[in-house]
Amino acid sequence: MDSTRMRNHGIGTEPARMGSDGATFSKGAFRSSGSFPSGGVSGSSGSFPISAVSPSGGTLLSDGAPLSEGTLLSDGASPSNGTSPSYGSLHSKGTSSGSPRIDGAEPPLGGIGPSFHGAPPPTNGARPRLNGKELAFKITLGLLCTFIFLIIVYPLYFIVIASFSDSTLVATGKVWLVPKNISFFGYQEIFKDMRIWTGYRNTVFYTLFGTLVNMLFTLPAAYVLSRREFRARKVIMFIFVVTMFFNGGLIPTYLLMKDLHLTNTIWVFIIPFCVNVFYLIIARTFFESSLPQELHEAAVMDGCSHFTFFFKVALPLSKAMISVIGLYYLVGHWNDFFTALIYIRNNNLQPLQMILRDILLSNQVFAGGAGTGGDAGGYAQRYADQIKYGVIIVSTLPILVIYPFIQKYFEKGVMIGSIKG
Q: Which residues contact 102 (CB under 8 A, 6 or more apart)?
A: 116, 117, 118, 119, 120
pLDDT tens for 102-116 read 444 444 444 444 444
The per-residue DSSP string of 156-167 comes to HHHHHHHTTS-H
146 pLDDT more than 70: yes
Q: How much is the mean pLDDT over the chain?
A: 73
| pLDDT-derived band at 80, boundaries 50, 70, 90 | very low
- How far, CA to CA in Å, does 94 sit from each of 17, 39, 88, 366? 23, 13, 16, 86
- Distances in Å between the Cα of 218 and the Cα atoms of 144, 170, 222, 282, 412 are 39, 46, 6, 10, 20
Check pLDDT > 90 for residue 191: no
Confidence at 292, pLDDT banded by 50, 70, 90: confident
Amino acid residing at 168 = T
Give the pLDDT confidence score for residue 382 in this predicted structure.
Answer: 65
Q: Residue 96: pLDDT above 70?
A: no
pLDDT digits (tens, 9 = 90+) for 152-177: 999 989 999 988 888 888 878 888 88
- What is the predicted pLDDT for the residue at 240? 93
How many percent of the chain have pLDDT more than 90?
Answer: 29
Residue 21's pLDDT band (boundaries 50, 70, 90)?
very low
Tell me the C-alpha distance between 96 and 209, whole Å.
74
Task: With cut-offs at 50, 70 and 90, classify the pLDDT of residue 416.
Answer: low
Q: In a 3-state reduction of DSSP, which class is residue 18?
A: strand
> How far from the centroid of its chain's Cα atoms is residue 127's Cα?
25
With pLDDT > 70 as the criterion, what percentage of the chain qualifies?
Answer: 62
- Give the pLDDT of residue 377: 52
Which of the pair, 84 or 249, is modelled with greater confidence?
249
Q: What value does the mean pLDDT take over residues 39-43?
A: 40
Tens digit of each residue's pLDDT (9 = 90 or more) over 206-235: 999 999 999 999 999 999 999 988 989 999
pLDDT tens track for 254-274 = 999 999 999 999 999 999 888
Residue 65 has pLDDT above 50, yes or no: no
Torsion of CA 229, 231, 236, 237, to 10 degrees: 50
In order of 29, 46, 58, 328, 419, the CA distances from 4 in angstroms are 14, 15, 20, 81, 65
**Selection from 92, 87, 83, 81 nearest residue 66 by Cα:** 87
pLDDT digits (tens, 9 = 90+) for 337-372: 899 999 999 989 999 989 888 887 877 665 555 445
Tell me, what's the pLDDT at 258?
Answer: 93
Highest mean pLDDT, choosing among 67-71, 203-207, 372-376: 203-207
pLDDT of the residue at 190: 84
Residue 100, SS3 per DSSP = coil
| Averaged pLDDT, 18-46 | 41
b/e burial code for range 21-37 (CB count within 10 A of at least 16 → b): eeeebbeebbbeeeebe
pLDDT score at 141: 95
| Residue 68 near residue 83, CB atoms below 8 Å | yes
Average pLDDT rounded to a whole number, residues 310-331 = 90
Distance CA 252, CA 255 (A): 5
The amino acid that residue 355 corresponds to is: I
Q: Cα 151 to chain center, whole Å? A: 22
Greatest mean pLDDT among 16-20, 48-52, 87-91, 222-226 lies in: 222-226
Which amino acid is located at 35 in the chain?
A: S
Tell me if residue 59 falls in helix, strand or coil.
strand
Least confident interval from 97-101, 200-204, 274-278, 332-336 = 97-101
